[in-house]
Structure formats: C-alpha cells, structure tokens
Chains A and B, each alone.
Chain A
Amino acid sequence: DGGITQSPKYLFRKEGQNVTLSCEQNLNHDAMYWYRQDPGQGLRLIYYSQIVNDFQKGDIAEGYSVSREKKESFPLTVTSAQKNPTAFYLCASMPPSGTGELFFGEGSRLTVL
C-alpha cells in the first residue's frame, strides 16, 4: 500500500543532542513537508520541498535542518539549537493534482528530558 512512513513513533532525547526524524513516502509525490504540532497551536510549517535537492524554510525553521537527496525521503534533524523541541512532528506529501490535499504520516512524538 502507498503511504508515508515516519519513524520513530516515539523518541526521547537529552538536552543538547541532535535527533533525526525519518520520513519516507512511496506515493511518487514531488512535494514534501514537515509540520510541528503543539497543543492549541495547530500545525506550523517547518520546512518544505518541491523537488529533489531543493527545500525552503517554513514559518518556524530555526533550530531545524532537512535534506532531500531522494524523492522518497525527507528527513528532519532537530538540532540542539531548537530551544523547545518537545512536540508532535508530522511529515506530509502532496500530489501534483492541484487540490492542495496533503497526505500525512502517523507522526513522531519527540520528548526532551
């Protein structure tokens, strides 16, 4: 079945450590996105990529980094520079159909101890 796979589902890290969240899709979509979700704040865009080897900052990119070396993969690194990294992270992709529909993975919940 086609879809978006995020891993790990739950992750704990100590302050000062970088952590990388995986996002893989087999939907053959060009566009991919990373969102952060905090209670009561909806979904905020971290980074997005329209094509391999290209990506743009979203609204809250500080303290995060991404890469897009393959169409299927769009990993997100939460660096130690991110001051409040505990959150639910959602990866999504969009087909070129022009409907604006996003397909989401199941999310990764990061907790900083």
Chain B
Amino acid sequence: GQSLEQPSEVTAVEGAIVQINCTYQTSGFYGLSWYQQHDGGAPTFLSYNALDGLEETGRFSSFLSRSDSYGYLLLQELQMKDSASYFCASPGWGYQKVTFGIGTKLQVIP
C-alpha cells in the first residue's frame, strides 16, 4: 500500500517563498505528483517527479529525494491567488492506483 503525509495547514506572506513537504511510504514507488485545488473546485495538476532532483515550472518547483522518501513543492513570489489546498500524490504499480495525501491548506496573507 501507499501512504503520503503532508502538513494540514501553512500560512505565508504575499511575495514570500513557502515549501510544502510530503513524505511517503510505499510498497513500490513510481514518482510524486502535486495538485492544486481551490475551494469548491477540481484539483489541477502542477508537476510530476519520477527521478531525484528539482523540476521548475514558473513560480512553482517540485523536488524529490527517493532515498529519503521525501518531496516538496516550492512556491515563490507568493500571490493571494495561490491560497488553495495542495496535494501530493503517487501512482501505484503500472500507474494504476493513484493515492493522495490529505492536502495542505495554504493561506497567503498580505
């Protein structure tokens, strides 16, 4: 089975940088994905790390360390619209069963 742990809430200031961590325990590991979900909306895909290292997409970056069973999402130059929930997720064998963490609610304050 798979389990992913992440903090339930994070607060950060507009313009700052915030890091959301995710640790995982899996019987087989096929990469780590990140999703953003605004209240009442559908999750949208942000990034995917299959290998160790940093992936950058604009203001968002995602990092993976397979040896530490750990990854994080880094959000830079925070904007008020970044206030949302962020989920880490991992696909199982054959990319069949995708398991999600509980989500981290990010509040960006002025």
Chain A residues close to B by CB (< 8 Å):
31, 33, 35, 40-45, 48, 50, 56, 58-59, 90, 94, 98-107
| Size bracket, chain B contacts | 20 to 34
Residues of A within 8 A of B106 (CB): none
Please give the distance in Å from B98's CB to the nearest CB on chain A.
6
Please give the distance in Å from A2's CB to the nearest CB on chain B.
15
CA distance A79 to B101 in the complex (A): 26
Q: Among the listed A31, A41, A58, which residue makes an inter-chain contact with B102, where contact means beta carbons less than 8 Å apart?
A: A41
Please give the distance in Å from A39's CB to the nearest CB on chain B.
10
Q: Among the listed B41, B43, B96, which residue makes an inter-chain contact with A48, where contact means beta carbons less than 8 Å apart?
A: B96
CA distance A90 to B44 in the complex (A): 12
Q: Among the listed A41, A102, A105, which residue makes an inter-chain contact with B98, where contact means beta carbons less than 8 Å apart?
A: A102
Q: Among the listed B42, B43, B98, B102, which residue makes an inter-chain contact with A100, where contact means beta carbons less than 8 Å apart?
A: B98
Is B89 positioned at the interface, with any CB of A under 8 Å from its CB?
Answer: yes
Verify A48–B90 contact, CB threshold 8 A.
no
CA distance A78 to B41 in the complex (A): 21
Verify B96–A31 contact, CB threshold 8 A.
yes
Please give the distance in Å from B84's CB to the nearest CB on chain A.
14
CA distance A31 to B41 in the complex (A): 22
Residues of A within 8 A of B102 (CB): 40-42
Please give the distance in Å from B64's CB to the nearest CB on chain A.
12
**CB<8 Å pairs between A and B, sample of 9:** A31-B96, A40-B102, A42-B101, A50-B94, A99-B48, A100-B30, A102-B33, A103-B45, A104-B44
